[in-house]
Amino acid sequence: MISPIVDVPPIDNEPSLQRALCNGDTIAESGPVIRFVDLFAGLGGFHVGLSRLGCECVFASELDSDLRKIYEENFALRPCGDIRKVKAKDIPAHDILCAGFPCQPFSKAGEQLGLDCEESGDLFRRIIKIARFHKPRLILLENVANLPKHDNGRTWEKRFRRRLENAGYNVTEKELSPHQFGIPQIRPRFFVVATLDSLDGFEWPEPQTDLSDLSIRTVLEQDPTDARKLSELHQEAINVWQEFIDAFPSDEELPSFPIWSMEFGATYPYEDSTPFNSTSQLLSRRKGSHGVPLNQFSPEERFEYLPSHARVKSDKFPDWKIRFIEQNRELYRKNKDWIDCWLPKILKFPSSLQKLEWNCKGEVRELSRYILQLRASGIRVKRPTTAPALVAMTTSQVPIIGWESRYMTAKECSRLQSLDELSSLPSNTCAVFKALGNAVNAELVRLIAERCITHLQNGSSTLNAKSRLKTVTSTEPV
């Protein structure tokens, strides 16, 4: 029998994973149910994944009131609101603590304020406080892939990992994406496994090596009635870019770099200087977006007729931007004759539709065959093997099924997150895609949790004494 973990607060109901391991039960056996808490629960990706293993959720938290209602409809459990207002002692005893804590402070798409974000960056401290009180045998965390890179790695190594270790946990982490396991979405995420047991011998789920059968079609519905069609403006922009592709020399590869049509004919300075750092007289002799002469505008107006990526108050562009500008201007010089005939057609569209990212090297040059995404960086074109990562920003970035000229439905996107079981989703279009963009993939949760529980079962008789006896009396503030 396993010796009890030291310094466990007195509770009336011993966590079930501890009892299951002591009794030699396996996941499939009818022993004590393994219990978990679902913090920052969202749509319940952790809940779905662990429920597939027969685990029971005994507590959940979610700040968004609409999502709390949806969660209750799906799981018959009403989450609490602000976890910061809940005392650790009022949370039921549990074996597994799950948390997909807010990712915006660490995402490349945000300001990357990290733990300095007053609204949500410090919520990790709440996780640690609950873990110190309840000593769950296992902690499962998920966040954006950028987290371990934030602040040159210091945020993860010196603040997150260190706090987990000071609370008595052994820690391992891994970046995984659903597409590595047969789910047609490329969405790299950062997963953390922390356990009071030794991690010797623990193995993460092994990604598949053969992805040849991966196809977005496996999650698509046939003629869905609720699918949102492309607007006339967006369809027209796609048609104009198809004309560009048709006119491109057939014996040359389409560019792998982002195509920025506003650089076609532009001559403003970009290599050693920027428009912001240039004299008014110099700019008056140059051309701005799509080759418009800048001398016809007043000095105050000239900035407005530059590409948006050039309207920055900086003395020098970053190297990547210089490279893209140079590549696009060279593309224009080589193909000026036919591009000049095409160029007027793109001018009517907003800047985000004046750019194209072709990610289908060597494939048939027909946009209607692929998955499209309308991004601030342009129209992104991807093979129909996978969907781009769902994002929690706007409905405009929902993947587009090119051959049906429609956006993916909420139900299809829920399948990308392996949330097929959900019977209730937010009714508001913006809310449902935001929630799905924030969700953790339930199947990845299941795969990771299954490995963790099996590891704990296999090692229950040889628990690392050092890990059991790690002190939890650290003076580190929580």
* Residue 367 near residue 240, CB atoms below 8 Å: no
Residues in a beta bridge with 171: 194
Side chain identity, residue 334: K
Helix pair angle (442-458, 16-23), 10° resolution: 50
- Residue 276, SS3 per DSSP: helix
* Residue 170 near residue 197, CB atoms below 8 Å: yes
DSSP for 320-370, written as a single string? HHHHHHHHHHHHHHHTHHHHHHHGGGGTTS-GGGSEEEE--TTS-S-GGGS
The tokens 């006339």 sit on which residue? 232
Out of 98, 103, 360, 452, pick the active-site residue.
103
Q: Could you tell me which residues come within 8 angstroms of residue 427 by beta carbon, excluding any fewer than 6 positions away?
A: none
- Distance (Å, whole) CA 107 – CA 2: 41
Alpha-carbon separation of residue 52 from 47, 224, 381, 419 (angstroms): 9, 28, 35, 11
Where residue 47 falls (left for φ over 0; alpha for ψ -120 to 50; beta otherwise) is alpha
| Strands, E assignment, 96-148 | 96-99, 138-144
- Distance (Å, whole) CA 464 – CA 134: 20
The backbone torsions φ and ψ at residue 51, rounded to the nearest 5 degrees and listed phi first, read: -65, -30
Q: Is 103 a catalytic residue?
A: yes
| Strands, E assignment, 185-294 | 189-195, 259-260
- Report the catalytic residues: 103
